[in-house]
């Protein structure tokens, strides 16, 4: 079994919304062959809690306005370190970059086919690593390595 056309439409819209809010490393997997509860997982990350929340809000708003769907479940709002939006057909995971590295969901789903995403979403690949390098460089140039 493969992801339905509706699931692909949801993934594409959610991925574009995440890219528009500057999410990092957006990727989607067709998990329909290994899970019966959903067709696809969309993963995205951001370097801080505020941006995680902003990405989640944009995905929710876009899917509601453009496709008329709302999540049946939303988890992780309070800390905004890992927010899960369950749309039944797809599940969206927006994680703080540190959680993304620690939990490495990509490892779990590496055998599942990757779904085609909009060009803006594909362009986000490697942004988390780039951001981390910039942050390290900024900290190294400051006296004592302290925050400004």
Q: Cα–Cα distance between 62 and 7 in angstroms, integer?
A: 15
Of the pLDDT bands very low, low, confident and very high (cuts 50, 70, 90), residue 2 is confident
Q: Give the alpha-carbon dihedral of 49, 54, 60, 66, to 10 degrees.
A: -160
Whether residue 139 has pLDDT greater than 90: no
Of the pLDDT bands very low, low, confident and very high (cuts 50, 70, 90), residue 80 is confident
pLDDT tens digits, 26-50 = 999 999 999 989 999 999 999 999 9
Of 53 and 2, the structure prediction assigns the larger pLDDT to 53
Query: Residue 121 has what pLDDT?
Result: 95
Query: Residue 146 has what pLDDT?
Result: 55
Q: Cα–Cα distance between 38 and 2 in angstroms, integer?
A: 11
Cβ atoms within 10 Å of 101's Cβ, excluding its own: 13
**Where in the chain are the domains?**
5-140
Q: Cα–Cα distance between 93 and 41 in angstroms, integer?
A: 7
Angle made by CA atoms 22, 28, 32, in degrees to the nearest 5: 155
Nearest of 5, 18, 115 to residue 62 by alpha carbon: 18
CATH architecture of the domain covering 5-140: 2-Layer Sandwich (3.30)
């Amino acid at each position: 079994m493969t992801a339905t056309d509706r699931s692909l439409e949801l993934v594409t819209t959610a991925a574009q919304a995440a890219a528009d809010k500057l999410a990092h490393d957006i990727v989607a997997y067709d998990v329909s062959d290994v899970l019966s509860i959903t067709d696809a997982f969309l993963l995205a990350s951001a370097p801080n809690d505020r941006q995680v929340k902003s990405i989640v809000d944009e995905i929710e708003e876009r899917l509601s306005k453009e496709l008329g769907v709302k999540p049946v479940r939303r988890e992780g709002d309070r800390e905004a370190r890992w927010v899960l939006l369950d749309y039944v057909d797809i599940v969206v995971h927006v994680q703080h970059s540190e959680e993304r590295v620690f939990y490495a969901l990509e490892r779990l789903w590496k055998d599942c086919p990757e779904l085609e995403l909009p060009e803006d979403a594909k362009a986000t690949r490697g942004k988390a690593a780039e951001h981390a390098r910039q942050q390290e460089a900024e900290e190294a140039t400051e006296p004592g390595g302290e925050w400004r």
